[in-house]
Amino acid sequence: MVYRRNWLSPLALAFSLLPMTQAQAFTTNGMASYYGDRFDGRRTASGERFDQGELTAAHRTLEFGTRVLVTNKDNGRSVEVIINDRGPHARGRTIDLSKEAAREIGMLGRGVTPVEIEVLEFGDSTPSGSNDLAVAQAQRLLIDLF
């Protein structure tokens, strides 16, 4: 049996690690979760302190400062949040909302819910230089793969 290495997959993985740009999709569907109590007061990836009472969220690739509208597909309720952290770290999840944002869209009892995420305004840059770190990590990954 002959196995062929799929060169597109590592390349797609590397590009998925890069921060999302304005040329990419403005709307996507996925699963949302929320985080709150035990992370309250800790520093986020953007350098801000996490406040579970604010309307913020974590996303793997959107730039910090990006404003997104998150709509709960089960009940139609929406909330506008600002991306200030990286995550979610659980498989199959697209966005982690602050506890207050989760309350706004009525998902506190469920924990995880299907959502539509619409980018309203892209962030300008990252205060802590995290995008530079992500780009450097993606470049190292590409070098290691090829």
Domains and CATH numbers, the chain: 22-124 (2.40.40.10)
Residue 101 has pLDDT above 50, yes or no: yes
Short-list 131, 130, 134, 140, CA closest to 10: 140
What's the pLDDT band for 60 if we cut at 50, 70, 90?
very high
User: Is residue 105 very low, low, confident or very high in pLDDT (cuts 50, 70, 90)?
Assistant: very high
The amino acid that residue 59 corresponds to is: H
Q: Is 41 left (phi over 0), alpha (psi -120 to 50) or beta?
A: left
Q: How far is CA 135 from CA 23, 86, 115, 139, 141, in A?
A: 17, 14, 28, 6, 10
Minimum mean pLDDT range among 34-38, 40-44, 82-86: 34-38
